[in-house]
Each structure stands twice: as structure tokens, then as C-alpha cells.
Amino acid sequence: MERREILRLLACAAVAPLQTPASREALTFPKGATIRTVLRDVSPDTLTRATLFHEHLSFEWARVAPQSNRSGPAKDAAPVLEQLDVAAAEGVGCIVDAGTNDVGRDNALLRQIASRTSVHIVACGGLYMERTYPQDVAAKSEDQIADDLVSDANAARYGAFGEIGETSNAPMSAAERKVFRAVGRAHLRNHLPIFTHNAYGTGPNVPKDAGLRQLDAFESVGVSPGRVAIGHSCCLDDPSADVVKEIAKRGAYVGFDRVTGGLVPDDKKVSMILAFLDAGYIDRLLLSSDYNFTARSDARPGYGITLTVFAPKLRKAGVTDEMLRRITIDNPRRFLAFVPVS
């Protein structure tokens, strides 16, 4: 059977080893499940356009990369709104802002943007990586950090914890493992989904199993893998997709969230996705571009590039429109939907 025939069959029936929906019509959510935006809670059933689970609307480059000469964030919402209008016309219905507490995420700006666009905006929080942590994190226990995260999530209307990361070019540090576990403990108290940053593609010393070790840290405190997305998996040059298949086998989502960018070219990312789909994991895949308007270029024109630039490459490789709807609409709303603690 040729690859295209396999993909066609995948689009018609769930062949994954997980108990996942067979079609969009079969998609259901737990009673009381919601997706929390910066303005209001919305029913996941109402998100019928694409959701981008990892982009940047509010970000301070100076905190994340002091050596960078990039500016930001632009406190004027106008240029962001202009790009969101374009993205909405391209089929985007919801964007998750991946800013955390320690990279200058601006909730007031997010609310201002959200009130003036048709695109739903989901805010995130947490801690990015050790080199950006506030000084007091070192002296705090996991439970104390979790207390802070839950309080922040309530005050700022987080819809997820993310992006939770580790320093480039090295295994997870003891401090980062403490934060990962603290995020996991916070999740157990408020049920918010979690997505990560990892260092794939940043250097030769990044362990290939980094994503699996991130999942280990969350599971060590009792987090269900199905509530976690392992980010930047597309930056791992792994043609057979062995690592990401192992992540999905454990029940977690795999984030291909640097499409159209990064050191791994899109043709290799497409090949990895085909191998991933051939293994039956269509319902574990999330797509996004990690786009930030302060770093825009002609090569990455806007927030909709996941749909306008990368999706056509998947179609050309044989991925059907029905499969793309499952990947870009059903999967992210299933990931983001949670039942709030009363």
C-alpha cells in the first residue's frame, strides 16, 4: 500500500493505538470543559476554526536573549491587530500567547488586543528556563512555586501553563526539574494544560530524549501525559520520528511549533509528520509557528503561516483536508479544554 493510500485511510478512521475520536463528528468534551481566554471562558465546541497553540503576542526579547538587538514588545496594539486581521481571514480562530511571567508577558496588552479582534486569545504563564527565573525561585520549594503559579493563573486568567522550558545545549538542570514538577503540581490543582519549550536544534549537546525527560518530570508528580504537549519537537532532526512517536505512545501531544522556521527545513518536518501519521498518531499532533511580530520577515509573513505556508506542503505530501482539520482544529481544542476546579 502506498503512503497516500495509508494517509487516505487514516483520514477516514482512527487507527491510532489510543482511544481517540474517529472523526470530527465523534469529538466530545468532558462535562463542564472550557477553554479559558483572556476575556471569557468559551465552549470548545464553538472553536471551529484553526487554533495556533504556540505563538507570541507579548514578549520582551531583552529578557530572553540579552545579546539580541530585537525590540519588543510594542505596547501599541495596532501592528498586532493588523496581523491578526490577516490571520483571521486566513482561517485562524484562536491563538495561544506563549509568554511566561519571566519573559515579560503583558496581560494588559493581551486584553486590549483581545477586545479588538475576532481571534480568541489565550494567555499563558509559568517560568521559561533557569536563566530567566526570578532570583527567589532558587530558595522556594516546589509547593511554594506551585502556590504562586495557581495564584497568578487565577488573577491573570491563564488558559495554559507554557512555554515551560530548559536551557539550551544542556540536560535539564536541578532548578528546572524543580520548576517542571512545580508546574505539574499547579496543574493538579487547577487542571490547566501544559506545553513545553525544549532545546532541540540549538546545538549538538541536546539529548535526543529531552522531550521524554520533560514528560518524566511531569509524570513524577502525577500529571497525565494527555494534558501535556512537548514543544519544538519539529526541531529534532529525526527522519523516522522515533522520539516523537514514543512521546505520543505515552499519551502526550507532540508540538511541531516551529514550522516555517528553525534549523530543520520544512521538507524534513513534513517527512517526520508523515512517519508520525503512518504510525497512527494523528490525534497527538499540534501545529504552530512560534511567530513573533517583532521578528517578522518576508520569509515568515504573519501569524497565519502555519495554514498558508506549511499546510500546503502537507497537502502536497498527501495529507488530506479532513486530516488537516483534525490536526489544526480538533487537536488543539482537545488539548486546551479543561474542567475548572470549582
Q: Which domain holds residue 94?
A: 33-336
Residue 191 in this model has a pLDDT that exceeds 90:
yes
Residue 18 in this model has a pLDDT that exceeds 50:
no
Stretch 175-194: mean pLDDT, rounded? 98
The Cα 256–Cα 310 span in angstroms is 11
SS3 223: coil
Residue 89 backbone class (left: φ over 0; alpha: ψ -120 to 50; beta: rest): alpha
pLDDT computed for residue 271 by the predictor: 97
Residue 73 in this model has a pLDDT that exceeds 50:
no
For the whole prediction, is pTM greater than 0.95? no
pLDDT computed for residue 205 by the predictor: 82
Residue 124 in this model has a pLDDT that exceeds 70:
yes
How many domains does the chain divide into? 1
Task: Assess contact for 196 and 162: CB atoms under 8 A.
Answer: yes
Q: Which of 240, 230, 224, 229 is nearest to 198 (CA)?
A: 230
Stretch 187-196: mean pLDDT, rounded? 98
pLDDT computed for residue 290 by the predictor: 92
CATH of the domain at 177: 3.20.20.140
Inside any domain, residue 110: yes
pLDDT tier for residue 12 given thresholds of 50, 70 and 90 = very low
pLDDT computed for residue 203 by the predictor: 77
pLDDT computed for residue 59 by the predictor: 62
Residue 164 in this model has a pLDDT that exceeds 50:
yes
Stretch 191-218: mean pLDDT, rounded? 92
For residues 329 and 71, the model is more confident at 329
Inside any domain, residue 5: no
Inside any domain, residue 28: no
pLDDT computed for residue 22 by the predictor: 37
pLDDT tier for residue 204 given thresholds of 50, 70 and 90 = confident
Inside any domain, residue 4: no
pLDDT computed for residue 8 by the predictor: 42
Stretch 60-78: mean pLDDT, rounded? 57
The Cα 59–Cα 43 span in angstroms is 28
Per-residue pLDDT tens digits for 242-282 = 999 999 999 999 999 999 988 899 999 999 999 999 999 99
Q: Which of 11-25, 114-128, 174-188, 191-205 shows the lowest per-residue confidence on average (mean pLDDT)? A: 11-25
Inside any domain, residue 1: no
pLDDT computed for residue 79 by the predictor: 83
For residues 109 and 92, the model is more confident at 92
pLDDT computed for residue 85 by the predictor: 94
Stretch 109-132: mean pLDDT, rounded? 95
Inside any domain, residue 115: yes
Question: Residue 276 to residues 36, 128, 250, 253, 284: CA-CA distances in angstroms?
Answer: 29, 28, 14, 12, 9
